[in-house]
Each structure stands twice: as C-alpha cells, then as structure tokens.
C-alpha cells in the first residue's frame, strides 16, 4: 500500500518537517484489559541481608510481552529530500497470540510522501488521520491504559495500521519506507529520526544501526550530530556517509543530524536559540574547510616529538610510546621538518637541529627510536626548553607533542616556573600538545602548559593504548588548512554602549583549522538581528578573511534548537572549572557553577549532591547550601597528581570540548543500557549507599564521574527531558523550573491535578510537545512538581 500526501505547494515552501516518526509504536489491541506500553524491567542490585529473614517478594512482570530485537535505519539524503527505510524485528515473548497495530505519529505539517508499510514482506493497510482525529485515539489509549506514554505526540496526526497477529514466540520484521522533505535553515539541513519510540520494549534492543548517505549538488562542509557520536566518512566535497551503531541498549532519545552546504574553501553556518526575548540567546557556529585542500596551499609544518624515557615508563608504556613515535614518522609529509627529544634526568635529541623529512632522515629517526630505553628521573623543564628552542621559523605552523607519565623530578621541579619557562621559550606560537599517561602524572601542570602554549591536554588511562591516542590526534592535526584563526561577530545596528555582539564564546581560542575537521563554536548574544561572521587566518603565508551572513533570532518559535543552550552550558561549566583549577576558587564562579548544573542537569564531581534522592526537597531551593557543598568539593582541585586529580582534569576536558549534549530525551541523546534504564527508586549507590546511583557500564541517561574510582556512575534520580531537568526527591520529581517551590509554604500557589482527570487533559491540551514529554515520564505512585506558563502544578 502506497499513499502519497499532497499538501499545498505553498505549505511545502513555508513549513518544513521538524520530525517524522518513522520508528513506530507497537500497540497491543486488547479492549478487555489495560495494556500499557512495555518498559524494560530493571531489578535493583541486591541489598545487604536483613537481620531477620523476609519472605521473598515476587518480581514484577512486563506490562506487555514483546521486545524489539533489532532496529536498522537506512537513509539516503539528496539535497533536501530524505528517502528512509526502517526495518524493525520484534518478538512476542508472551504465551498467547497478540493482536497488534503500529502507530506512527506524524509531524505537524505532514511533509511526508510515499509511505509503505510491510510485515515480513507483505504490505498492510494504513490510515492517515489528521491531528484532531488522532488526538481522540491518543487520549483514548492514555485513559484506557492509564499510561502517559503517548502524551508527547498529542497534537500530531498519525498513520495507524490495520491489526495483524503475532503468535507466541514468533518473530516479525516490519519495514517502513517513506520520503521526507527535510527542514532547512539557510544553508543547514536538519535530519531527525525518532529513535526514542524504541524505548517502548520489554528488553534492551539487541542492535540499533543508523546509516545515512548524503549527496549534495553544493559542496558539503560540516556534518554534525549534537545527539550521538557518529562515524563520518567523506569521499569528496559532495558526498558523505554517517554510521551510528550500538548494541544492547534502550534508545531514549531521537537522532539528530545537521549538514551545511557552501561553495568555496570554507563554509560557516549559525544556528541560534532564544526561548525568552528578554534574556540572552545562544548560538552555535559550524565551520569547515574543504575536504581536500589544494596540495600547493598546504603549509609545511614542524613537528617535534618529546618522549619521557624515565624509569616509570619501562615495559609496556615505553613500547607503546615508541610505536606512537613511529606512526608520526610514517605520516609526515615532504617539506615538513621534525625532531625527536627523549628525556629522563638528561635530555637527548635525535639531531641538534630540525631535520627536513625525507626517506633518509625517516630511516635514521626510526633507528633513534629503537634505541630509546627507560631509566632515570623526569626533567620536564629541560625537555621542553630543548624542543621549543629549536623552532626559529614563525611562518610555518609548529607542534610539540609532549608525552610524560609522571611528575617533574629532575632540573626545575616548581610547577609555576616550568610553565613560565615554556611560555618564554615559545617565541613563535608553537602549539604544545600534552599527553599525560597514567594516574601518576601531574595533570594540572599539563593543563597549565597547554593553556600557556596554544595547545591542549590529552589524558591516557592506565589500561588505554598510548599509540591509539597519539595517532588519533596526529591524524587530526597532520594537515593544517588555516592557522592563527580568529572568529568575529558584527551585528547590524548595534551601538557601542550595547557592548560586544557576542560573549562567553567557546572555545575561547580556535588557533587552527585542519583538513577534514569542523569547528563547533558556541556562545551567547544579547541583541538579535542580522550579523556578519568573519573568519580570519593564514593559508600558508597569506592572510585570509572570509565573511558569512548569520541571523541571531529574536525569539525561537519552538525548542528545535534547545540543544544549543545545553551545549553552551556544558562548555561554560568546563570553563568555570578550568578557571578555578588554574587560578583558584571564586565565589561568583562557584555560584554560577551550581546554578548551571542545577538548571541543565549537568552533574560534575562538585555538584554530585544534586543526585541525592534522599535529600529534602527544600535543599534544591537552598542555593546557599549548594554553594557551600560545591565549594567544599572544589577543594579536591588542589590535588595535582593521582587518580582523583587525573579524573578531574579528564572530566573537565570532556566538558570544555563537548560537541554532543548529555544523553537526553526530546532533542536526542542516545540510550540507556539494559541494566540501567528506568531503574526506579530502589537502586543503591557505590558501597551500598542509597542515593540514586549505581555502576554504569555504558551510556546511562545521566552520568557522573566518581573521581575516587575514575568510573562513570549511572544516575537515575536525575532525568533530562528535552530542555527540562527533573530531580527525584523521595516519590516526587521536581522540575528545575520549580526547584524553589516549598510544598508547605507555597501551598496556596500550587495547583493540584490528578493524573488522567479532566483537568489533566486540559493541561495536556495547553502544553507544548516538549512539556508533554515531561509529563509522559511520570509513573504510577509518583508526583511531578513543574511550572507551566507561570503556574506551579503538583500532578499526582
């Protein structure tokens, strides 16, 4: 059965699809008994044995007996049109035959064409229902089954299939094909796939695979997902493929992919989000150079590899470091210059001066590498002075790759003096890229060195491979396209007294753009309007200046770009921690850290108290208490070496360089593993402590790094639903926008609503889809306190 939707042409031109719910929801049709959609059944970890035996309690059974085994999505995107095929295998895990129907919520404008639905290769009829008629079906399901799962799609139309049988134990493969007109904002095309509907399954999905090919008549520049970590491959300027694959997870969020198109050597596009026109807005800039720069325009570079050969590097570490060195030597280009500095108590160079790379010097350098053995102390200051002193040419980009696994124990050992010396010796803006190996490294020293020397720090855990880290980073920096990069914003009609057009822009310094890389830059703005983005830099020895138009919106019409604010908040939090790590604590920064962490659900080692579901609800509103607890936890930044010090700097780096938002629902964010999703209130923390936390083997909805163990902790007492954050306190969930509510003192200001009552559905009707998505997370026996349109509601 094929059904073509024929909307008026003007509608196609004015409104583009924001979502297409190609991933359907399997609804069990049984009018005789309420049948809620299935969720993974999570059993809490065993508690300590009670002093007196208790009778065993029966384990709960799934509300519906089917599971999704596999979900595969193949999309072919040609310019602005997506052709999508979704294949889903599911199994009836119950003991009786199910009569089921698939429901496909549609976007508000219905910009979908040629939809085909099949079960095991046989086409089944499907009916297109407009939003008004679909609402009664959504509401009927919610009322009948006392299940709010479909709330987030109230107000949309739907495709609803005819009923088909599934015998007990049987596996069925359903296939959906459709064409979609993708949303486009200036040069940026937006592909969204509703992966979150697959969360309605009684078990984890064994395999989730998304593959998309992009073809464009105009050159593709950036390919970016704010929600998932995707593998991107570029065959040429007009084609790209992406792949996302996970196993044994429960998808909780939608998949989002952006790509922008532009002619020329560099493309740049801006997305902006401003939910409140009386407050600052947020923007995201994507910038990418051509996939392959012209060979004669590639600047020759200088690379100096500085390797620690002290006694602590003996064994596996020194062998991995040597393999990393060989990788760099095998991937230099003709006309590059290079050298190797090996250090312990003393400092030794491959050659006294830089060498031009060719077959002869490569062979000699490989021989030098084979002769590196571990032993002695660690003269960090002397090694950096030797490497930086070799660089005399300011015209070519230069990089020092510095590797160490310990503390400075020979030569100058004072942290501040080592940093000052490196800064003074770095006369030509050499980028110093530090690799800290293992927990004994002085991680704070490496961060200070990278900040003072235009570089970055990479942290290699004891069980990780040094060569993998070095090769991955070197592949990224091996081909600089534009160096000494600066990005400027000029806003039309801005006055001097208005101040800068943008502020709090991250990363603070761009430095270089590399072949095949894309810049993801975020910031805030005060004034809306048309803007000009200027990218300045050097291509070879020539100064270049490129201008791009942008628009900073006055007020966003929906939450499509809400992820921009959350991504900015992650980087701002990372920057705040970095400031206090390197310059000391500051009361205003501590206060801002608590406020941002609370609003956005971005948990850090210093705001972990937010995950304590045994805390009193009033503590959420007590900013002073939160500041005191955060201030105390920040004292751990005094630690410069050891496991906790390493974990703190590694986590800080992840926040400062974030390109994906936290795992979330609404605008995307991956999934939860089978043993973590939807864990409920009875889970235990580390060491048997109650508090809504447990070990996280992979991708939980909200994560927290425990600095004592350097492991990620799954937090089920905090949920991120779209742009809203929820905190669990006992049986109640408090939205971050109602964190200041005192249920006793503010009782006269609170409106109490019973779930599934007439008032409840009036509220649902007035809500936006993102607000209803929050209500859909509430379970039986729980209460939700949330502010909607200025009114605080307590939903029971």
Same domain, 505 and 596: no
Q: How far apart are CA 566 and CA 553, in angstroms?
A: 17
Among 478, 511, 532, residue at a domain's last position: 478
Whether 221 maps to a domain, the answer reads yes
* For helices 587-600 and 623-633, angle between their N-to-C axes, nearest 10 degrees: 110
Confidence of residue 577 (pLDDT cuts 50, 70, 90): very high
Q: How far apart are CA 409 and CA 430, in angstroms?
A: 25
Q: Is residue 551 part of a domain?
A: no
Question: Is residue 670 within 8 Å of 720, Cβ to Cβ?
Answer: no
Q: Give 506: exposed, middle or buried? Use CB within 10 Å, 0-12, 13-18, 19+.
A: buried
CA dist list (Å): 625 to 295, 586, 773: 59, 16, 31
631 and 755 belong to one structural domain: yes
**111 and 238 part of one domain:** yes
Same domain, 705 and 589: yes
As a whole number of angstroms, the distance between CA 788 and CA 762 comes to 13
Dihedral sign from CA coordinates of 142, 147, 153, 158: negative
DSSP, res 690? B
CA–CA distance, 328 with 478 (Å, rounded to integer):
9
Supply 664's token pair: 């979330």
- The predicted pLDDT at position 691 comes to 35
Q: Counting Cβ atoms within 10 Å, is residue 169 exposed (0-12), middle (13-18) or buried (19+)?
A: exposed
Q: What is the pLDDT of residues 131-143, one digit of tens each?
A: 788 888 888 888 8
Looking at residue 109, what DSSP letter applies? T
Q: Is the peptide bond before 507 cis (omega within 30 degrees of 0)?
A: yes
pLDDT at 262: 87
pLDDT value at position 9? 24
Nearest to residue 375, comparing CAs of 317, 451, 421, 438? 317
Among 383-397, 568-582, 671-685, the range scoring the smallest mean pLDDT is 671-685
| C-alpha span between 495 and 683 (Å, rounded) | 55
**Is residue 532 scored above 50 in pLDDT?**
yes
For residue 731, being part of any structural domain is answered with yes
Q: What is the pLDDT of residue 663?
A: 57
Flag whether pLDDT at 699 surpasses 60: no
Q: Which two tokens stand for residue 754?
A: 């019973």
DSSP secondary-structure letter at 428? S
The pair of structure tokens assigned to 719 is 């949920």
**Percentage helix, strand, coil, to 5, in the chain?**
25, 35, 40
- 498 and 402 fall within a common domain: no
CATH value at residue 131: 2.60.40.3680
Domain that holds residue 501: 266-295+485-545
The top-scoring range by mean pLDDT among 119-128, 295-304, 549-558, 668-677 is 549-558
Q: Do residue 417 and residue 384 come from a single domain? A: yes
Confidence category of residue 695, pLDDT binned at 50, 70, 90:
very low
Closest of 163, 757, 291, 284 to residue 560, by C-alpha: 284
Q: Is 558 among the domain residues? A: no
Instruction: Identify whether 53 is part of a domain.
Output: no
What is the bridge-based pairing of β-strands 2-3 and 112-119? antiparallel
> How far, CA to CA in Å, does 150 sit from each of 98, 495, 782?
20, 48, 18
Question: Which structure tokens are listed for 214?
Answer: 């992009």
Give the closest residue to 590 by CA, choosing from 572, 576, 603: 576
Contact call for residues 785 and 792 (beta carbons, < 8 A): yes
Residue 557 lies in a domain: no
What mean pLDDT do residues 565-588 have?
95
The number of folded domains in the chain is: 4
As given in the structure block, the two tokens for residue 504 are 């709090």
Distance from the Cα of residue 169 to its chain's centroid:
38
Longest pairwise C-alpha distance within the chain:
86
Last residue of a domain, one of 212, 241, 260: 260
Residue 162, in any domain of the structure = yes
Cα-to-chain-centroid distance, residue 635: 28
Calpha distance 197→23 (Å, rounded): 6
Q: If you count them, how many residues does the chain have?
A: 796
SS3 at position 599: helix
What does 54-68 look like in DSSP terms, one character per residue?
Answer: -PPPPPPPPSS-EEE
Domain boundary among 210, 243, 260: 260
* Greater pLDDT, 421 or 93: 421
| Same-domain status, 289 and 351 | no
Identify whether residues 225 and 319 lie together within a single domain: no
- How far is the CA of 705 from the CAs of 531, 649, 708, in angstroms? 39, 11, 9
CATH code for position 386:
3.40.50.410
Task: For helices 415-425 and 380-389, give the axis angle rounded to 10 degrees.
Answer: 10
528 and 281 in contact (C-beta within 8 Å)?
yes
- pLDDT score recorded for residue 552: 95
Indicate the pLDDT class of residue 677, thresholds 50, 70 and 90.
very low
Whether residue 624 sits in one domain with residue 514:
no
Rounded Cα distance, 310 and 318, in Å: 9
- Count of other CB atoms within 10 angstroms of residue 33: 8
Specify whether 211 is located in the same domain as 304.
no
Q: Is residue 675 part of a domain?
A: yes
- pLDDT per position as a tens digit, 48-90: 343 444 444 444 444 457 788 888 999 999 999 999 888 888 8
Do residues 357 and 256 share a domain?
no
Regarding whether 252 and 145 lie in a shared domain, the answer is yes
Would you call 50 exposed, middle or buried from its count of C-beta atoms within 10 A (0-12, 13-18, 19+)? exposed
pLDDT band at 403; cut points 50, 70, 90 = very high
Task: Answer yes or no: is pLDDT of 786 > 90.
Answer: yes
């Amino acid at each position: 059965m094929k059904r073509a939707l024929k909307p008026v042409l003007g509608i196609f031109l004015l409104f583009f699809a924001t979502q297409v719910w190609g991933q359907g929801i399997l609804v069990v049709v049984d009018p005789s008994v309420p049948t809620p959609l299935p969720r993974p059944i999570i059993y809490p970890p065993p508690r300590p044995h009670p002093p007196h035996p208790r009778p065993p309690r029966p384990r709960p059974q799934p509300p519906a007996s089917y599971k999704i085994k596999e979900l595969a999505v193949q999309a072919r995107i040609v310019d602005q049109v997506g052709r999508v095929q979704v294949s889903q295998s599911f199994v009836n895990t119950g003991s009786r035959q199910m009569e089921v129907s698939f429901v496909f919520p549609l976007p508000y404008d219905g910009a979908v064409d040629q939809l085909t639905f099949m079960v095991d290769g046989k086409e089944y009829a499907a009916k297109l229902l407009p939003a008004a008629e679909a609402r009664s079906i959504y509401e009927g399901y919610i009322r009948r089954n006392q299940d709010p799962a479909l709330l987030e799609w109230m107000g949309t139309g739907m495709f609803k299939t005819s009923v088909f049988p599934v015998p007990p134990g049987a596996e069925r493969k359903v296939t959906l094909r459709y064409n979609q007109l993708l949303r486009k904002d200036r040069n940026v095309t937006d592909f969204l796939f509703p992966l979150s509907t697959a969360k309605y399954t009684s078990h984890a999905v064994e395999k989730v695979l998304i593959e998309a090919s992009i073809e464009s008549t105009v050159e593709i520049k950036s390919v970016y997902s704010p929600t998932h970590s995707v593998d991107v491959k570029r065959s040429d300027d007009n084609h790209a493929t992406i792949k996302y694959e996970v196993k044994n997870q429960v998808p909780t969020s939608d998949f989002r992919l952006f790509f922008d198109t532009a002619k020329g050597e560099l493309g740049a596009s801006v997305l902006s989000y401003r939910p409140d026109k009386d407050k600052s807005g947020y923007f995201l800039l994507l910038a990418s150079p051509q996939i392959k720069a012209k060979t004669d325009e590639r600047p020759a570079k200088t690379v100096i590899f500085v390797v620690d050969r002290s006694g602590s590097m003996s064994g596996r570490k020194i062998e991995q470091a040597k393999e990393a060195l060989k990788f760099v030597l095998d991937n230099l280009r003709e006309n590059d210059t290079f050298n190797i500095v090996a250090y312990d108590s003393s400092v030794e160079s491959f050659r006294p001066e830089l060498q031009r790379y060719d077959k002869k010097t490569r062979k000699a350098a490989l021989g030098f590498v084979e002769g590196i053995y571990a032993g002695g102390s660690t003269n960090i200051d002397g090694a950096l002075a030797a490497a930086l002193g070799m660089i005399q040419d300011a015209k070519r980009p230069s990089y020092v790759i510095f590797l160490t696994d310990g503390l400075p124990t020979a030569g100058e050992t004072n942290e501040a003096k080592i940093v000052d010396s490196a800064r003074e010796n770095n006369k030509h803006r050499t980028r110093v890229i530090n690799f800290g190996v293992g927990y004994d490294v002085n991680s704070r020293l490496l961060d200070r060195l990278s900040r003072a020397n235009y570089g970055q720090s990479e942290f290699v855990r004891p069980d990780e491979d040094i060569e993998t880290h070095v090769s991955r980073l070197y592949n990224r920096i091996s081909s600089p396209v534009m160096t000494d990069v600066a990005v400027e914003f000029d806003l039309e009609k801005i006055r001097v007294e208005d101040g800068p057009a943008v502020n709090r822009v991250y990363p603070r310094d761009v430095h270089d753009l590399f072949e095949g890389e894309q810049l993801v830059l975020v910031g805030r703005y005060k004034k809306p309007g048309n803007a000009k983005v200027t990218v300045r830099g050097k291509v070879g020895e020539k100064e270049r200046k490129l201008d791009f138009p942008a628009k900073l919106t006055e007020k966003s019409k929906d939450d499509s770009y809400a992820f921009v604010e959350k991504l900015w908040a992650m980087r701002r939090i990372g920057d705040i921690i970095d400031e206090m790590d390197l310059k000391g604590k500051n009361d205003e920064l501590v206060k801002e850290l608590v406020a941002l962490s609370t609003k956005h659900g971005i948990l850090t080692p210093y705001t972990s108290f937010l995950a304590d579901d045994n805390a009193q609800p009033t503590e959420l509103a007590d900013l002073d208490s939160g500041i005191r607890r955060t201030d105390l936890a920040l004292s751990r930044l005094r630690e410069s070496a050891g496991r906790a010090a390493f974990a703190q700097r590694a986590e800080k780096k992840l926040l400062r360089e974030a390109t994906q938002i936290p795992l979330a629902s609404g605008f995307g964010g991956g999934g939860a593993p089978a043993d973590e999703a939807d864990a409920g209130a009875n889970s235990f923390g580390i060491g048997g402590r109650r508090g809504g936390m447990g070990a996280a083997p992979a991708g939980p909805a909200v994560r927290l790094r425990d600095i004592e163990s350097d492991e990620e902790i799954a937090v089920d007492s905090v949920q991120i639903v779209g742009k809203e954050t929820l905190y669990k306190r006992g049986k109640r969930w408090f939205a971050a926008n109602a964190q200041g509510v005192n249920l006793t003192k503010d009782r006269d200001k609170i409106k109490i609503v019973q779930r599934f009552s007439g008032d409840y559905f009036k509220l649902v009707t007035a809500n936006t889809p993102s607000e209803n998505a929050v209500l859909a997370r509430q379970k039986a026996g729980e209460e939700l306190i949330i502010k909607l349109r200025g009114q605080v509601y307590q939903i029971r």
